[in-house]
């Protein structure tokens, strides 16, 4: 029996059974090119106040430092494209935050994934990551054949667009590695660059995180959003989907089937006034399992005031 081939079949079958949309595998190795690119991005201050991006540099570029003895990086994608839209007059919230916090949902799946592999393959040491540790998920997704990184910095898949969460499982067993996705299908299209309300998308797939609406509405913990951003938020209360909504590849997006991502009714329907009148107690109760809790009640109220005084 070809052990790596046999184990790879188990890995991919398990990913499918757990509801992941894609599973690919790459060899665990140091990401030399990404190290140079990340260092330049940080030196230009494009991470804004996200100081954590400066931490654990060596861990970000080498999975073997995250998981001693690591041989394989398994990448899985979880579709989150909703089949429902927000009412026109409600403040905009990025689609990824419509339902339950993806960290909770996918972290549980990754733990289950590793447990099943241990049962069916033998003792495996590994760790699962979903936007929660210094892992360059998009690079590993490309290396595992999932798709390419677009001009907007998002992973784009050829058959179903970019509304995906990316998660990685780093393990200490050798598997059969997929071919990297070698082509960039963005071509000369610049729709995302031209549509970005804050001009955060630069040439050569460089996104200035310190200018992104998602940064201001989620990551920025200051009491005030910089005045120079006035009039540029287009009613985005949390996150921003503009660069994905205009991407031609997302015409192929299909609604997800993950019940945990079923939209919270308040997100779809609340008017600006209803958001403004919401008490902190109600916010905590409604959004206790939602990504909105990351911005906290105070952050949401700050964002509301900012987009409400844009004239």
Other CB atoms within 10 Å distance of the CB of residue 98: 22
Dist. CA 99–CA 26, nearest whole Å: 30
Dist. CA 230–CA 40, nearest whole Å: 29
- Say what angle helices 102-120 and 3-17 make with each other, to 10 degrees: 140
Tell me which residues are annotated as active site.
131
Kindly give, in sequence order, each residue whose CB lies less than 8 Å from that of residue 126, ignoring residues fewer than 6 positions away. 67, 70, 114, 117, 169, 170, 171, 172
Dist. CA 231–CA 251, nearest whole Å: 28
Dist. CA 233–CA 214, nearest whole Å: 10
């Amino acid at each position: 029996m070809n052990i790596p081939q046999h184990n790879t079949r188990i890995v991919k079958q398990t990913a499918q059974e757990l509801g992941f949309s894609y599973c690919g595998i790459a060899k665990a190795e140091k990401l030399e090119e990404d190290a140079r690119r990340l260092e330049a991005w940080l030196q230009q201050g494009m991470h804004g106040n996200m100081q954590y991006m400066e931490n654990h540099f060596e861990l970000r570029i080498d999975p073997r430092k995250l998981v001693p003895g690591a041989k394989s990086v398994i990448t899985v994608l979880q579709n989150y494209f909703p089949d429902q839209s927000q009412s026109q007059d409600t403040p905009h919230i990025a689609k990824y935050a419509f339902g339950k916090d993806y960290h909770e949902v996918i972290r549980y799946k990754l733990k289950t994934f590793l447990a099943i592999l241990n049962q069916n393959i033998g003792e495996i040491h590994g760790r699962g990551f979903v936007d929660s540790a210094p892992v360059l998920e998009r690079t590993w997704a490309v290396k595992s054949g999932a798709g390419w990184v677009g001009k907007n910095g998002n992973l784009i898949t050829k058959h179903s667009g970019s509304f995906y969460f990316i998660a990685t499982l780093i393990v200490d067993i050798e598997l059969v590695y997929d071919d990297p996705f070698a082509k960039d299908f963005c071509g000369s299209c610049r729709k995302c660059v031209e549509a970005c309300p804050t001009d955060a998308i630069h040439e050569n797939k460089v996104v200035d995180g310190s200018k992104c609406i998602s940064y201001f509405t989620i990551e920025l913990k200051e009491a005030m959003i910089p005045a120079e951003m006035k009039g540029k938020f287009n009613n985005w209360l949390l996150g921003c989907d503009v660069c994905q909504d205009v991407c031609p590849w997302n015409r192929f997006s299909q609604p997800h089937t993950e019940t945990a991502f079923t939209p919270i009714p308040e997100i779809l329907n609340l008017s600006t006034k209803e958001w403004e009148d919401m008490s902190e107690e109600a916010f905590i109760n409604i959004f206790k399992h939602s990504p909105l809790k990351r911005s906290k009640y105070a952050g949401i109220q700050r964002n509301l005031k900012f987009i409400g005084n844009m004239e």
